[in-house]
Each structure stands twice: as C-alpha cells, then as structure tokens.
Amino acid sequence: MEVAIKQYDRNKLYLDTMRVQALKREVQILKSLSNEGIMKFIDLIDSGNKVNIILEYINGNNLYQYIRKNHGSRIQDENEVKDIFFKILKSVKYIHD
C-alpha cells in the first residue's frame, strides 16, 4: 500500500499551543471522514522528533495539472466541467454535513 506522509517538526510544533490544537483538530476531522473524494486517514505516528500523519496516497495529478495535461489552458467541454465541479461540490458538501 502506498501512503502519503504529512510531517511536522515536533520541536517547532510544540512551541506553539495553537499549532498543537490545530494538529489535533486536523487529525480528528481526518479520522471522521469517509468519502471517495477525500483521502483517508491511516495513522498518526509520533517518532520523537517528527509527528507524521499517514494518509492514503492518491496517484495522479491535481486539478490544475490535469487541465494543463489534457486540455491546454482550459476545458472546452461543458459536460466535463460540470462533472468535475459536481465531484468537488459533493466532497465539500460531505465535509460540511
């Protein structure tokens, strides 16, 4: 299984209590999400000097790279734009529900 790792320097992180709270909140939110449009939380590993959030690795390009690679500067097909926009809105709605 391939994973993505979001890594924080523990020494810098724990100098600011707001950053620690933000990290805890991020982990709490990621753990609660289960949606095809959002990468899945796998684990939180505190390795001494680093704090690592382990996430599902999603292979592929981001939206900008996809558009540049497949369409040049912009997508001409209105139905494809609607499909992409719908997928984004569906994921955002899921997060806010």
Q: What is the CATH number of the domain that holds 28?
A: 3.30.200.20
Q: What residues are paired with 44 via a beta bridge?
A: 53
For 35, the domain range is 1-59
**What pTM value is reported for the model?**
0.77
pLDDT band, very low/low/confident/very high, at 66 (cuts 50, 70, 90): confident
Mean pLDDT of the chain: 92
How much is the pLDDT for 73? 85
Whether residue 71 sits in one domain with residue 40: no
Torsion of CA 17, 22, 28, 32, to 10 degrees: 170
Whether residue 52 sits in one domain with residue 88: no
Question: Can you state the percent helix, strand and coil of the chain, rounding each to 5?
Answer: 50, 20, 30
The whole-number average pLDDT for the span 54-63 is 89
Whether residue 80 sits in one domain with residue 51: no
Amino acid identity, position 38: I
Whether residue 42 sits in one domain with residue 83: no
Amino acid identity, position 95: I
